[in-house]
Structure 1
Amino acid sequence: MVTSPECDDSLKAFMQLCAEHDLLTEPEGLEKGDLYDGLSDPSTLLRFLKARQFNADGALKQFQEASQFRREKHIVRLYDIVEIADFEQARQFYPHWTGRRDKSGLPICMFDLSFLNKKNLACWEQTRHTAVWSDSESHANLPPKPDMLQLASVYHDSFARMVFPLCSMMTDRPNPSVAITSSIYLVDASDLGLKQGWSLRYFAQSISWLLSTCYPETIQRVFVCSAPSYFSTIWKYLKSWVDTNTAEKIVVLSSTEVLPALEGYIDNANIPTTFGGRFPFKHGMLPELDDSIWQHFSWSLPSRSLPPGPIKWTEDVYGRKIALAVGGEAGSKRTEKIAILDTIKE
């Protein structure tokens, strides 16, 4: 990871501070060979520093809060055993990776706001009141039943632990020595209604807290596409429930502005057809890997679509980076090797 000398000095000092507070020890629940990427590696710590304008004390306090939340919610352990069906249900509620990247190498995520209708929000509301799942319950050999924040955190861990490291391994980008730690969001707002906008307040508040506390600086830019004329009215209310730093990254586009704006950041072949591009990706689909990613790794998949459920990076005894599809089905844990970094092509 390459940074400026000033940034590098700040990061080293912050890492020392975290070490003194026992925040860089192996996270509880991590398995042998699992990488620390997205958990306590330098790139992750740098995100917390940036979120606090390089104020080490402020960053330390936030990282402590995030670490405590993760321990109490058993996020690392849950990542390995969460039911794949539960993970996929949670994935529908948040921007999800298309399998494509923008011109700078950032992962492109898509979300259709029409999915957050009354019926689906009621389903989300039920999981908000579910009792917190404890790691001790796993000994009963029963499928875990996590609450909403646990599921949301496990899902966003899939970016920090799988998607960002994968995109960072790619060398076909302007600054391959700089780690990828954020995404670009494409949000379809074409069917957003006034009443629906108001009903999103609890959802926005809960997720905004999780992202700003545990996943700071993971959003590069949010394009709200094909926004209706009354979006400013909705946004006036929603803005107060969204983290300030995130709100500043939102760009609202009318239907005529969408394609020209997106093409400034994304090749047309990677822009979903919904927004005028040539990529036939819709909300809910699994990531379909671009040509470069497909060729950069040795994949054991029947197609370029990633499998459902969480995926993590591990390292074998030979130092090779391996992607494992994990999670569970009816209480039975999955451990499926799906990719190996092809060092020959490095």
Structure 2
Amino acid sequence: MTADFEGSAPAGRVMSSNSATNPGIFPNGHLGHLNGTQEEALERFKVVLAEKGLWKAGPPASHDDQTLLRYLRARRWIVDDALVQFKDTEEWRAANNIDTLYQTIELEAYEQSRRLYPQWTGRRDRRGIPLYVFEIRTLDSKTIANYEKQGANSTFSQAKTDGKTPPGLLRLFALYENLTRFNQPFCTQLLDREHADVPVTMSTNIVDISGVGLKQFWNLKGHMQAASQLATAHYPETLDRIFIIGAPIFFSTVWGWVKRWFDPITVSKIFVLAPHEVKPTLEAFIDPKNIPKKYGGELDYTFGQLGIPDPAWDGVVRWEKGYNSFPSGPLLWEDVPGEDRLACVRLGAEKGKTQREVICTLPKAFKLAEKTTEEATQPDSVANTATETTATTTDDVSEGTQTTEATLDGTTDETTQTDGAADALEKLNINSEKTNGTTTAEVTTMPTATATAAA
């Protein structure tokens, strides 16, 4: 069983050049690919944030445009709603010293979190978005109880807390900081991807729930609910999609209470794959060389290990001090003084002593493309006319759902992908509703609590 997300085209067509002109498909709604309404919302959002003292134009700006756009997409381009979420996040970050947490977290505490939660494979999907893997069976009740207890009873950073956020969960958010401050900026600078003019602000996740029993799901309920809701609230639109693999037969039982943790946009980004759909569907989104062998690919990756460097980095990344891969720990990018390069710096602490170490440097290759006024303000109606996409929607009366079938570039399923992939991707069924120029979707199958991989 599979489920589509946000009205996008089936997986096999994500590389189509026509995706740039269809308002429901990436990279539309992202920096450099905004229609007139979205451009107007971004400018109004800046004005409102500035009036509230929540944003400064700079240079440099206190928050870049791609970050502001995450909040607007999450709130369907309603500026007032985006303002509420942004303000809540800024207050939460200040109350819990999230910047200090990330810079001073004990490396041992960071590694403990990294090994339990979604882990970067070191690879990307076909659009250059970082690929994460998460095996839920590692989160048994005993492990979680020990994790939360240690977090509550130990000082793992120099950050203060607001007394409201469960202290046992705060270490988890160092991983989200790593995603937004290290991984996404890194992937943005790698220009061997379609839409290299668009900054990377999302992640793709394979979530393996095989071997997880109903009792384990139930025991994880409180922890996963708290983590998911905080992530959805404070790290919006950092998820491109989640592939759920190995769903047990009872999975529909847990869907009723999991569904309430997420907004419809997040829910709509979840694919639940049957065993025969795993390999063809993943290959439609991810090059086989970047898919772990366990899921039918070629990458010799095991959950728990650090990311495996991509040969595509050769000649781009200049390693320092004997490093040849990224280590565990809080990483971020800084300008190299006097050079048009960025340096990856590992921070954190060991036994209370803060560390600072340069891991590598790379060229500052990413440049935002300048768009003409006509392109930037092109209305949806014009964009829709420009695309060669044709779509038909049929009502499935027996199921009470809508199935959207799309064909791009004038090609058919048989000419663009294998029969196996076509069979899997034809099952991406959604209930869609057009709102403010954005398509939201309600998944027709049962997503999992493990959407904490990203929000």
Scaled by the length of structure 2, the TM-score of the pair is 0.67
What is the CA–CA distance in structure 1 between the aligned matches of 2:256 and 2:321, rounded to whole Å?
45
Q: Does 1:307 align with 2:327?
A: yes
Q: Does 1:84 align with 2:80?
A: no
Report deviation, 1:201. Answer: 1.0
Report deviation, 1:134. Answer: 8.3
- 1:213-262 deviation per Cα after TM superposition (whole angstroms, max 9, x unaligned): 11001111110112222222233332233444322211111222211110
Report the equivalent of 1:215.
Answer: 235
4+ residue runs over 4 A deviation: 36-39, 127-137, 301-304, 343-346
Q: Does 1:107 align with 2:130?
A: yes
Correspondent of 1:177 among 197, 207, 210: 197
What is the CA–CA distance in structure 1 between the aligned matches of 2:348 and 2:60, rounded to whole Å?
18
Relative CO higher for 1 or 2, CA cutoff 8 Å, sep ≥ 6?
Answer: 2
Report deviation, 1:186. Answer: 0.2
Report deviation, 1:301. Answer: 6.1
Contact 1:127 1:148 survives alignment (8 Å): yes
How many residues in Structure 1 have an aligned counterpart in Structure 2?
329
What is the CA–CA distance in structure 2 between the aligned matches of 1:177 and 1:46, rounded to whole Å?
15
Contact 2:105 2:156 survives alignment (8 Å): no
Report the equivalent of 1:189.
Answer: 209
Report the equivalent of 2:90.
Answer: 67
SS at match of 1:63: helix
Q: CA 1:89/1:133 → structure 2, altered by over 3 Å: closer, same or farther? A: closer
Report deviation, 1:121. Answer: 1.6
Report the equivalent of 1:281.
Answer: 301
Correspondent of 1:155 among 166, 175, 181: 175
Contact 1:204 1:238 survives alignment (8 Å): no
What is the CA–CA distance in structure 2 between the aligned matches of 1:274 and 1:214, rounded to whole Å?
32
Counterparts of 1:227-242 in structure 2 under 5 Å? 227-242=247-262
Q: Does 1:324 align with 2:354?
A: no
Contact 2:125 2:131 survives alignment (8 Å): yes
SS at match of 1:219: coil
What is the CA–CA distance in structure 2 between the aligned matches of 1:237 and 1:97, rounded to whole Å?
28
Correspondent of 1:52 among 50, 58, 75: 75
Q: Which runs of 5+ in 1 are unaligned?
A: 27-35, 138-145
- 1:315-345 deviation per Cα after TM superposition (whole angstroms, max 9, x unaligned): 1332531110111111121111112123599
Correspondent of 1:3 among 33, 50, 60: 33
What is the CA–CA distance in structure 2 between the aligned matches of 1:334 and 1:64, rounded to whole Å?
31
Report the equivalent of 1:43.
Answer: 66
Report deviation, 1:96. Answer: 1.6
Q: Which amino acid aligns with 1:307?
A: P
Contact 1:98 1:110 survives alignment (8 Å): yes
What is the CA–CA distance in structure 2 between the aligned matches of 1:37 and 1:99, rounded to whole Å?
30
Q: Which runs of 5+ in 2 are unaligned?
A: 1-30, 161-165, 368-455
What is the CA–CA distance in structure 2 between the aligned matches of 1:271 and 1:136, rounded to whole Å?
37
Rg larger in structure: 2
Report deviation, 1:97. Answer: 1.0
SS at match of 1:53: coil
- 1:293-330 deviation per Cα after TM superposition (whole angstroms, max 9, x unaligned): 34322122646431110101111332531110111111
Aligned residues: CA RMSD: 2.6
What is the CA–CA distance in structure 1 between the aligned matches of 2:337 and 2:249, rounded to whole Å?
57
Correspondent of 1:206 among 221, 226, 229: 226
- 1:245-299 deviation per Cα after TM superposition (whole angstroms, max 9, x unaligned): 3222111112222111100100111101121111121221111121123432212
Q: Which amino acid aligns with 1:87?
A: Y
Correspondent of 1:13 among 44, 48, 51: 44
Q: Which amino acid aligns with 2:176?
A: H
What is the CA–CA distance in structure 2 between the aligned matches of 1:341 and 1:37, rounded to whole Å?
21
Q: Does 1:262 align with 2:282?
A: yes
Q: Which amino acid aligns with 2:288?
A: N
What is the CA–CA distance in structure 1 between the aligned matches of 2:104 and 2:286, rounded to whole Å?
35
Contact 1:224 1:252 survives alignment (8 Å): yes
Report deviation, 1:61. Answer: 0.9
